[in-house]
């Protein structure tokens, strides 16, 4: 059995090609992918070659951890049935080609316990579930502390703002210095750091990925305030100690989402408290993936690019 997949042979060298697909074993599910998202965080680092080394890292690789599709085959004892819609957070089923994270393909073999059943009405918006769960993790891991300042108005920043409000928190302020991304606020205020002179934020959530911002953010904290680093930072982070000392600043790192975060997000969606609308701005046929990746990483108007795999079936 084969699949059509995006393969990064080395940084900035991408192709769409056929790959042999691992045989489905007991406990595995075969999924036909309809859409996959392109991450402008970790996937950008893989694409540019700036991803720090960690176990499993290496080229060639199949990227992608934001895929949505339908179950094609499942075992007799599986909780899943053919035709059900699922979210797929990646796969490793390409033989010698690494699955890092392995979701950008038209057919995947995935362990059943990695799949999340979703409402078919979500459609392509389902690819946003990983980001929504990551946003929830950034908030909930703070034990009920809602951010009153969010730095960055990309998809993750917007989801943190939406979730904060959906969970009963106050409307946050969002900083966005790129005018092309300042629009689209839903119940909260977007400004930029130069127009905001407030210096008593209790909880700041940074999703910018900019390792140079810590000194600026510390100076905006209230005493004993907290900064949550929810982006991914490829460069070392550093800060001047005296201002942090004077404020007794706390710095927290929010990593990847957990199953309970995904469950909470799907519940909020089901209850109508959270919307994923308006966050996907670009879509491309999967066979045009090379151009789609360049747009996703280079066009400031592109909030979220998705690949449509349905024509490759």
DSSP 137-151: HHHHTTSS---SEEE
Sign of CA dihedral 260, 263, 265, 267: negative
Sheet containing 201-206: which strands, arranged edge to edge?
A: 189-191, 173-175, 149-151, 201-206, 221-229, 250-253
Domain that holds residue 157: 142-253
On whether both 14 and 108 belong to a single domain, the answer is: yes
Chain segment 68-93, per-residue pLDDT in tens: 999 999 988 899 999 999 999 999 99
Q: How far apart are CA 220 and CA 35, in angstroms?
A: 40
* Residue 144 pLDDT class (50, 70, 90 cuts): confident
In a domain, 269, yes or no: no
Whole-number pLDDT of residue 143: 78
What is the CATH classification number for the domain harbouring 211?
Answer: 3.40.50.720
Whole-number pLDDT of residue 21: 97
Q: How far apart are CA 18 and CA 168, in angstroms?
A: 47
* Residue 142 pLDDT class (50, 70, 90 cuts): confident
On whether both 188 and 218 belong to a single domain, the answer is: yes
On whether both 11 and 110 belong to a single domain, the answer is: yes
* Residue 230 pLDDT class (50, 70, 90 cuts): very high
On whether both 84 and 196 belong to a single domain, the answer is: no
Please give the tally of structural domains in the chain. Answer: 2
Judge whether residue 136 has pLDDT over 90. Answer: yes
In a domain, 106, yes or no: yes
Judge whether residue 53 has pLDDT over 80. Answer: no
Calculate the CA 230 to chain-centre distance: 11
Query: How many residues are there in the chain?
Result: 313
In a domain, 161, yes or no: yes
Judge whether residue 137 has pLDDT over 90. Answer: yes
Judge whether residue 160 has pLDDT over 80. Answer: yes
In a domain, 58, yes or no: yes
In a domain, 134, yes or no: no
Judge whether residue 255 has pLDDT over 80. Answer: yes
In a domain, 265, yes or no: no
Q: How far apart are CA 61 and CA 128, in angstroms?
A: 22
Q: What is the pTM of this model?
A: 0.94
On whether both 91 and 121 belong to a single domain, the answer is: yes
What is the CATH classification number for the domain harbouring 24?
Answer: 3.90.180.10
On whether both 70 and 93 belong to a single domain, the answer is: yes
In a domain, 264, yes or no: no
Judge whether residue 309 has pLDDT over 90. Answer: yes
């Amino acid at each position: 059995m084969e699949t059509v997949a995006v393969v990064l042979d080395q940084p900035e060298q991408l192709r769409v090609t056929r790959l042999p697909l691992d045989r489905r074993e007991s406990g595995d599910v075969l999924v036909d992918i309809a859409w996959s998202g392109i991450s402008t965080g970790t996937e950008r680092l893989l694409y540019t070659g700036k991803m720090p080394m960690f176990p499993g890292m290496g080229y060639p690789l199949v990227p992608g951890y934001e895929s949505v599709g339908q179950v094609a085959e499942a075992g007799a004892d599986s909780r899943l049935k053919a035709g059900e819609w699922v979210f797929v957070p990646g796969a490793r089923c390409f033989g010698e080609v690494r699955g890092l994270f392995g979701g950008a393909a038209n057919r995947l073999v995935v362990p059943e316990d990695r799949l999340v059943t979703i409402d078919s009405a979500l459609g392509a918006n389902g690819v946003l579930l990983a980001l929504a769960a990551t946003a929830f993790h950034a908030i909930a891991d703070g034990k009920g502390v809602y951010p009153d300042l969010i730095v960055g108005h990309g998809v993750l920043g917007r989801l943190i703002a939406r979730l904060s409000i959906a969970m009963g928190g106050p409307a946050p302020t969002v900083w966005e210095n790129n005018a092309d991304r300042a629009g689209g606020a839903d119940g909260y205020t977007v400004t930029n750091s130069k127009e905001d002179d407030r210096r008593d934020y209790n909880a700041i959530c940074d999703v910018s990925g900019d390792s140079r911002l810590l000194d600026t953010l510390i100076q905006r904290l209230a005493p004993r305030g907290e900064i949550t680093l929810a982006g991914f930072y490829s460069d070392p982070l550093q800060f001047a100690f005296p201002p942090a000392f004077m404020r007794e600043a706390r710095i927290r790192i929010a990593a990847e989402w957990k199953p309970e975060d995904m469950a909470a997000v799907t519940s909020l969606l089901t209850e109508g408290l959270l919307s994923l609308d308006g966050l996907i701005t670009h879509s491309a046929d999967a066979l045009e993936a090379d151009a789609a990746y360049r747009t996703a990483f280079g066009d400031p108007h592109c909030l979220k690019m998705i690949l449509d795999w349905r024509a490759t079936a």
